[in-house]
Amino acid sequence: MSIILNGNELTISEIVKVARGRAKVELCKKALDKVRAAKKIVDGIADGERAVYGINTGFGKFANVAVGKKDVGILQKNLILSHACGVGNPLDTEVVRAMLALRINALCVGHSGIAEGTLRLMAEMLNKDIIPVVPCKGSLGASGDLVPLAHMALPLLGLGEVYYRGKRTAAAAAFDKAGLTPIELAAKEGLALINGTQAMCALTALAVWDARILLKTADIVAALTAESLCGITDAYDLRIHAARRQAGQIDTAANLRKLLADSGLASSSEKSEGGRVQDAYTLRCIPQIHGASRDAVAYVEGIAEREINAVTDNPLVFKDGSVLSGGNFHGQPLALSADFLAIAMAEIANVSERRIERLVNPQLNNGLPAFLVRNGGLNSGFMIPQYTAAALVSENKVLCHPASVDSITSSANQEDHVSMGMTAAYKLRTVVENAAAVLAIELFSAAQAAQLRGADKLSKAGAAVFALTRGKIAFVENDTYLAPMINEALRLVKSGEVVKAAERAAGKLK
């Protein structure tokens, strides 16, 4: 089934289907009516004498330089060529697929003056999996993501490089093989293609999707750790969390109660061994810590959902013939959000790493073998996976310095405040990847601890997650090559299989 793009109803879920599932896209017929109407207005201005920014003038500091009628097409091509100056590794193809879908969707609103044929060619590129090579660095996130979007637009002109059928090749060659014909840009089209926030938005939207999976996974893995450490469940009582009134905290506590409901290892303080009345913060405060990150993700998700259906280029064309210059391209909403989400997911990794430490440390793990291996000394066991987790959370702390607090002037001080939104979104992607890896190490470690403690006493949800893990990753009796085991745990985390296993056993989680 194709995703219909109309500029108003695209969802994060649909972006993921296009980006990762390679779903095809269709252009809404009603949206195309609006596109044609806006293009007619732009063509009328281009044929007239009135100077209008972006149609028959230069750009940035050159906004007051008029461009003659015969040169408006050259103006738009030059814009793409001069702005395609990015550096660094190419963005992952899933990110560029999301960028294409988002840009098409924004242009479908009908405020940009793009030609219908250009829009259709962009859709054909997606549907035939011709994905531009887009360098990751070069965007200030203020006149939008000018540099990455220029690289995304180059293939439309038969220029630049693309990935086609799994190979990196010249765009012109890929178009020829796919039966597509490059275009020549008309008035305003170059600006309509590159003036927007779709690179940072693509990265943020995909990160939100992944964060939602990781938040549930964090609750599930934390519950398995709590069982392995004979945790005390009093701290998850509804009355405690209702008294604070924080939605994410309340939802996390509800998940933990559901996950631990029938555990033979985790228990109330009245039934705990050794008379313990409460746990350390990494167990006791899971609802407060995970819950705060849940609230942060919910906020960022709202920003992203609005941005994916937003018109973010400049100037905007309105049906009454007005062409208004503004600043919707400025990436500040996404810059702040990406920084916030990075911090929220770094905290998920931080607390997970501390739980790993409790699992492997014989002074903290309530009687489990040191480093979760029976024959310690000869074997290092799970000593070094905790090192890896510690390295990842330390890297996250560096990456969580906010990009959005920085600004640098450009275009001869015409663009004198920039968002750095692309920088924020790009490092967010790394933070989310690192958080997934730390949770994978905790899953790996908690499964080992559960077997040492007595997996037959696990809750139904814990048993299901344990069985899933053991179906792919063997118990570590003696030292062995651990990296493939951690990578398999990472696959279980990122794919959502951990969540599915727990929900089959315990019911739908928040």
- Over 90: is that where the pLDDT of 388 sits? yes
Same domain, 16 and 41: yes
Average pLDDT over residues 125-153: 96
In angstroms, rounded to a whole number, what is the distance separating the alpha carbons of residues 503 and 478? 32
Is the pLDDT score of 481 beyond 80? yes
Cα–Cα distance for residue pair 221/85, rounded to 1 Å = 44
* Per-residue pLDDT at 214: 98
Helices (H), 70-115: 72-83, 93-107
Q: Are residues 496 and 368 in the same domain?
A: yes
Two tokens, residue 134: 């887009």
DSSP string, 313-337: -SSEE-TTS-EE---TT--HHHHHH
Q: Which residues pair with 168 in a beta bridge?
A: 163
- Return d(Cα 270, Cα 232) in angstroms, integer: 9
Q: What is the pLDDT of residues 182-235, one digit of tens each?
A: 999 999 999 999 999 999 999 999 999 999 999 999 999 999 999 999 999 999
Residue 68: the pLDDT is 75
CB 35 within 8 A of CB 114: yes
Whether 48 has a pLDDT exceeding 90, the answer reads: no
**Beta strand 3-5 pairing with 161-164:** unpaired
Say yes or no: 161 and 87 in one domain.
yes
**pLDDT above 80 (res 65):** no
Mean pLDDT of 447-460: 98
259: pLDDT confidence band, cut at 50, 70 and 90? very high
What's the predicted TM-score (pTM) here? 0.96
Mean per-residue pLDDT of the chain: 95
Question: For the residues 360-368, what does the mean pLDDT come to?
Answer: 96
Residue 228 has, within 13 A of its CA and on its CB side, a CA count of 33
- Position 70 scores a pLDDT of 78
CATH of the domain at 237: 1.20.200.10
d(CA 327, CA 212): 31
Please tell me which residue in 53, 163, 281, 426 is annotated as part of the active site: 53
Cα separation, 282 vs 293, in Å, equals: 14
pLDDT in tens, 260-307: 999 999 999 888 877 788 999 999 999 999 999 999 999 999 999 999
Q: Please indicate, yes or no, whether residues 155 and 174 belong to a single structural domain of this protein.
A: yes
CATH number of the domain bearing residue 155: 1.10.275.10
Residue 102 has pLDDT above 90, yes or no: yes
Question: What is 429-449 written as a DSSP string?
Answer: HHHHHHHHHHHHHHHHHHHHH
> Does 66 score more than 80 pLDDT?
no
- Which residue type is seen at 81? L
Where in the sequence is the domain holding 466, given as residue range(s)? Answer: 204-506
Grade residue 51 by pLDDT with cuts at 50, 70 and 90.
Answer: confident
The β-bridge relationship of strands 167-170 and 161-164 is antiparallel
35 plus 74 within the same structural domain: yes
What local confidence, expressed as pLDDT, does residue 463 receive? 98
My answer on whether 102 and 222 are in the same domain is no
Q: What total number of domains does the chain contain?
A: 2
Residue 296 CA to residue 212 CA, distance in Å, equals: 11
d(C-alpha 18, C-alpha 357), whole Å: 39
Q: Is the pLDDT of residue 467 over 90?
A: yes
User: Do 84 and 192 share a domain, yes or no?
Assistant: yes
Instruction: Return the pLDDT at 466.
Output: 98
In terms of domains, do 401 and 431 share one?
yes
What contacts 332, CB < 8 A, 6 or more positions away?
404, 419, 421
User: What single letter denotes the amino acid at residue 484?
Assistant: P
Q: Which amino acid is at 187?
A: A
Q: How far apart are alpha carbons 233 and 253 in whole angstroms?
A: 10
User: Which of 160, 175, 196 is where one domain is finished?
Assistant: 196
Read off the pLDDT band of 73 (50, 70, 90). Answer: confident
Single residue among 143, 169, 196 that ends a domain in this structure? 196
Domain co-membership, 64 together with 154? yes
User: Exposed, middle or buried by CB within 10 Å (0-12, 13-18, 19+), for 5?
Assistant: buried
Query: Is the Cβ–Cβ distance between 364 and 358 less than 8 Å?
Result: yes
Give the SS3 label for residue 248. Answer: helix
The token pair at 68 is 């003659």
Is 431's pLDDT higher than 80? yes
Q: What is the pLDDT of residue 159?
A: 98
Q: Tell me the C-alpha distance between 147 and 150, whole Å.
A: 5
Distance between CA atoms of residues 493 and 40, nearest Å: 50
Distance, in Å, from the CA atom of 110 to the CA atom of 398, rounded to the nearest integer, reads 41
**Based on the domain organization, do 108 and 70 belong to the same domain?**
yes
53 is catalytic: yes
Write the pLDDT tens digit of every residue in 311-356: 999 999 999 999 999 999 999 999 999 999 999 999 999 999 999 9
Pair (59, 208) in one structural domain: no
CB burial class (10 A; 0-12, 13-18, 19+) of residue 270? Answer: exposed
The per-residue pLDDT for range 5-18, each reduced to its tens digit, is 999 999 999 999 99
Residue 454 DSSP SS3 = coil
Say if residue 214 is in the same domain as residue 108. no
CA–CA dist 199, 95 (Å, integer): 8
Work out the percent of the chain whose per-residue pLDDT is above 70: 100
pLDDT at res. 185: 94
Q: What per-residue string of b and e applies to 337-372 under the rule 16 or more CB within 10 Å gives b?
A: bbbbbbbbbbbbbbbbbbbbbbbbeeeebbebbbbb
